[in-house]
Amino acid sequence: MTQSAIPSKLQRLAKKIVKSEDLFEGRCHGPICEVDNVLVFNRLTRTNLQQNSLSHLHHRHVLFFNLGTAGVLSLDGVQMDLNPGEAAMLLPYQFHSFPMVEEESMLWVMISFETSTAELLEVFRNESFRVSEECFDLLGQVIEDFSHAESEFLNVAHSLKVSLLLHNFSEQLAREGDSSSVSLNSVKSESAQLVADIEQVLFSADAEMTSVEDVAKALGVSASHLRATFRGHFNITLGSFIRHFRLNQAADMLANSQMSLTSIAASIGFSSPSTFTRFFRNSLGMTPKDYRNNAKNR
């Protein structure tokens, strides 16, 4: 490369570098969240968003970006508004649902990833936060990078940009010092309130209270009415919602505790380990033991 090919702006900047007093002490960063195995995807309809939330168990972290159409995100029974221009984080094994999205047509973008520094992301638990102009620019770069063919350099750059997004959001939360989450009783939407009531029952119930009939009884309505109302709002059955809730509970305990299969089965309402194993295998295509072994190897 000839000197004339070097950008003139770079040459001007290089001449203006301020001399350091100490050539052995530079700028240091704090802990950095290292991400890998990054996926970028979107949800364009409310139906697709709500149905997909009950079709996967998330052992990964997922960043939600609302780029159009306000909604409500429920994480472990805590509901928060997610408005256009805001983001939120789903942590591994959090039970989540989307009880209200204002319109069928929507535009949300998700970045899913794995990390060995998950403890740094606990600051995002049950929080929503505004997306700055700088972060919107970074998000655009991440989306654009993901549309290109893979290369070793691009994969590294992609992961670093996601890490930088997380770092910016973490600093923002530390500056603002308050949460955008809202209490269950402050959400006025009928569909959001319905999910809030059902989740409240499921989170507070003993091991035996897991059927549609038990939930209906706790809410003081008939099972048939509750089934019809729930399906009318979400185009899925309440039975599927409850099964997914139990599956999340089981997966969390398998991955993050030393509880025996017998204890796990009993704690989520199964009469025997064999019944629990059959339910788990039919849902995920693997036994609880295999799932636990896979989780240890991640």
Based on the domain organization, do 67 and 159 belong to the same domain? yes
Based on the domain organization, do 166 and 226 belong to the same domain? no
Report pLDDT for 189.
64
Q: Is residue 21 part of a domain?
A: no
- Tens-place pLDDT, residues 154-179: 999 999 999 999 999 998 888 886 44
Contact criterion met (CB below 8 Å) for 165 and 178: no
Q: Is residue 117 part of a domain?
A: yes
Report pLDDT for 116.
87
Write out the H or E segment, with its range, that includes residue 107. Answer: strand 105-115
* Cβ-proximal residues to 146 (8 Å cutoff; 6+ apart), any chain: 38, 40, 158
Based on the domain organization, do 255 and 216 belong to the same domain? yes
Write out the H or E segment, with its range, that includes residue 67. Answer: none
Q: Is residue 26 part of a domain?
A: no
* Cβ-proximal residues to 45 (8 Å cutoff; 6+ apart), any chain: 104, 105, 106
Which residue numbers in the chain have pLDDT < 50? 178-188
Based on the domain organization, do 52 and 163 belong to the same domain? yes
Based on the domain organization, do 80 and 119 belong to the same domain? yes
82 lies in which domain range? 35-176
In the numeric block, the tokens 């939600």 are attached to 64
Give the other-Cβ count within 10 Å of 35's Cβ: 25
Tell me the one-letter amino acid at 64.
Answer: F
Report pLDDT for 185.
36
- Of the candidates 186, 83, 88, 183, the residue with the CA atom closest to the CA atom of residue 128: 88
Tell me the β-bridge partners of 96: 75
Write out the H or E segment, with its range, that includes residue 193. Answer: helix 190-204
Give the other-Cβ count within 10 Å of 151's Cβ: 10
| C-alpha–C-alpha distance, residues 70 and 63, integer Å | 16
Q: Is residue 191 part of a domain?
A: no
Report pLDDT for 24.
82
Tell me the one-letter amino acid at 179.
Answer: S
Intra-chain end-to-end CA distance of the chain, in Å: 45
Based on the domain organization, do 75 and 140 belong to the same domain? yes
* Cβ-proximal residues to 28 (8 Å cutoff; 6+ apart), any chain: none
Based on the domain organization, do 171 and 45 belong to the same domain? yes
Based on the domain organization, do 213 and 171 belong to the same domain? no
Report pLDDT for 222.
94
